[in-house]
Amino acid sequence: MAMEVEDLGHHISRKFNEDLEHVRSSVLAMGGLVEQQLDRAVKALSDADSQLGLQVAEDDIKVNRMEVSIDEECSRILATRAPTAGDLRLVIATLKTITDLERIGDESEKIGVLAARLASVERPSTNYRELRNLARHVKAMVHGALDAFARLDTKGALEVVKADDTVDEEYESIYRQGITFMMEDPRAISRIMDSTWMARALERIGDHAKNICEYVIFMVHGKDVRYTGVKNIEAEVEQGVRRQESRF
Amino acid sequence: MTLPNRWTSQLAALAGWLVAALLLGWWFGGVGWWLAGALALYTAHVLRNVFLLEGVLDGRKRVLLFATRGLWAEIFARVDRVRAKARNRKKKYHRLLREVRESTGALSDGGIILNAEHEIVWFNPAATTLLGLNPAADIGSRIDNLLRHPDFVAYLAEPLPEPITVPSPREEGGWLTVQIIPYGTDQRLAIVRDITREVSLERTRRDFVANASHELRSPLTVIAGYLDALADDAEMPPSWKGPVGEMQRQAERMTRILRDLIELTRLEAAGGGAPLEPVDVVAMLELMAREFPAAGNRPAVSLKIESDVALLGSESELHSIFYNLVNNAVRFTPPAGTVQIVWKTEGDAAVFAVVDTGIGIPEEQIPRITERFYRVDPGRSRASGGTGLGLAIVKHALQRHEGKLSIRSVEGQGSTFACSFPAARVAFRGGVAQAAL
């Protein structure tokens, strides 16, 4: 919370504070919508509810509209307030975060459409257990990323970054399993292709959640940790947290 | 006015000092010096006591009794009493606060205090577990930043008296209700309750009714089929004609009940609002009026269309609302009476009403008649062929269209059932074509 206290609380212009706070809240509101979209898309799969799946696909436009409006607000703040330091990082991280959120929305739309298609074909006896499992992990990641954004909690962000490895492994195993099944039973190819695509979409959502966490670390500690590996990110977070604590 | 004892003794002491100084001055000479000395000593005594008193009031020292009686003893004793009282009060408040803390901590419902900006001021441990809040970090954060479900965010902006249900952010498949209660100036209390168990019980009940209805339907179809064949059989002894006919009617009634039960569970399970498809109400009502032709044992049904607005909703559900209400009116109105179907607008709202001159409903029963299988007069309504589910279906289908059912009735003179649909569900005929695109 150190940054919020220090950087969001001390502007002479109250309006500026309110603007920044509003942008932050809008991002989280968009995050809430995206979470709901993902949740419903996964529910469409587990309940074989094609109507719900198509509804999710239709509702993606709401996510897109929110992205455009937050984007505009950020541009306005950049143009009129010329923010610096922590404020600038907040605006930049916001701009990047909404792009990733919008992508998560797109992937959810994809999952919705695929779920609607899978609802009409024969289902495996496990009712796609491994997909639902993967989805649970991915949902927890998105939730954790947004929590980290809300609390400016870099340790929480780090946890999410670490969780991405599990998701990648699970995706890998679903992919391999799919290949085996397709060789065993060529009639199931189209269904397994669809479910593999869905796993792929979920895996991508995990990546986007990870990106958001990296922006949170950038926003709070001012360090760009993309493409540097989990170990380095961990070191940066620890260093950043220590620096922050020593300031008090 | 009489001075209290301690003051007279204090003044007497001062007078004694002065008299002694005068006497000594008179004896030894230099009265002025003796008097000044006595006054200086007295002032020093007073100053010392004032100094001690200041220390006591500052809370630096406890009160020691420097004098056992007189003015100063009284003053110190009083200060001591006041301080003891304050100490006790403080202890009492501490205890009270701790009790409040402990009791709110023991509550299984989460409680969160919010200020006007939706920022979290305080929350209890149950809120921590139910919502995943962090006591160390989340005080002062906006609650909608942490509880981001779109339904909750909308509810927070405009709290309604009823709680809303949102999926639990912590547990997969968990459900919570949140209710926001404003109090004081700009303060708000959010009550969070875990209803996962209720939701799953409700679902079990619904699934049971739906499954039972479906399972009963197939054997019933077989029975009804054989009964039809029997009734048409020319070789059947005449003495069996009556019983078979009765069996046929009862089988048909059971089929109707099952159909209504399935419809009702479907409406309950659907949840949320009905779709916004344009429905041409006028055409639907014109067709419906023709379904109820006046016959020897039935009243005449007339149509009074005062508006041509259409509704946005589900065609089949709206049909079932209108059909059930008209059917009820026809069943409870004697052949000589009349039933009138009305379609009109009242301000922004559209109103569908059925006015009959039937037997009416006793006033005290009106609130209960939308309950499942509730019958005003069991004998009569069963004889008239009702399933006991019609009004329950009407109620649920109306809820899905944000509509309101109002019932006015005078026993023996007739009833009026009116459904009012809000402006958001009303489409003008020109608008129907547009909405259909």
Distance CA A111, CA A139 (A): 13
CB contact under 8 A, B141 and A143: no
Cβ contacts of B138 on chain A, cutoff 8 Å? 151
The residue of B131, B145, B156 whose CB has the most chain A CBs within 10 angstroms, and thus the best one to mutate to test that interface, is B145
pLDDT band at B366 (very low <50, low <70, confident <90, very high): confident
Among A39, A18, A208, CA closest to B148: A39
- Residue A210: its pLDDT value, please? 93
Per-residue pLDDT, averaged over B250-267, amounts to: 87
**Contact of B309 with B281, CB cutoff 8 Å:** yes
**Contact of B321 with B398, CB cutoff 8 Å:** yes
Tens digits of residue pLDDT in A156-206: 899 999 999 999 999 999 999 999 999 998 888 888 999 999 999 999 999
- Residue A247: its pLDDT value, please? 64
Q: CB-based burial of residue B193 (10 Å sphere; 0-12 exposed, 13-18 middle, 19+ buried)?
A: middle
- Residue A235: its pLDDT value, please? 85
pLDDT band at B271 (very low <50, low <70, confident <90, very high): low
CB contact under 8 A, A32 and B153: yes
pLDDT band at B380 (very low <50, low <70, confident <90, very high): low
SS3 state at B172: coil
B235 touching A (Cβ < 8 Å): no
Cβ contacts of B153 on chain A, cutoff 8 Å? 29, 32
Distance CA B38, CA B43 (A): 9
Per-residue pLDDT, averaged over B397-411, amounts to: 88
Q: Could you tell me which residues are beta bridge partners of residue B346? A: B349
CB contact under 8 A, A147 and B144: no
Tens digits of residue pLDDT in A71-104: 999 999 988 888 888 889 999 999 999 999 999 9
**Contact of B191 with B179, CB cutoff 8 Å:** yes
Distance CA B403, CA B419 (A): 6
Tens digits of residue pLDDT in A108-158: 999 999 999 898 888 887 888 889 999 999 999 999 999 999 988 888 899
Distance CA B95, CA A7 (A): 39
- Residue B171: its pLDDT value, please? 81
pLDDT band at B60 (very low <50, low <70, confident <90, very high): low
User: Nearest Cβ partner of A1 from B137, B169, B172?
Assistant: B137
CA–CA min distance A154, chain B (Å): 12
Question: How do the residues of chain B divide into helix, strand and coil, expressed in percent and rounded to 5?
Answer: 55, 20, 25
Cβ contacts of A24 on chain B, cutoff 8 Å? 145
How many residues comprise chain A? 248
Tokens of residue A70, six digits: 């937050």
Tens digits of residue pLDDT in A192-244: 999 999 999 999 999 999 999 999 999 888 888 888 888 888 888 888 888 87
Per-residue pLDDT, averaged over B108-134, amounts to: 87
- Per-residue pLDDT for B231 more than 80? yes
Q: What is the pTM of this model?
A: 0.68
Q: Could you tell me which residues are beta bridge partners of residue B183? A: B187
Average pLDDT over chain B reads 84
List strand residue ranges (DSSP E) for B149-227, in order: 164-167, 175-183, 187-194
Among B151, B175, B269, CA closest to A36: B151
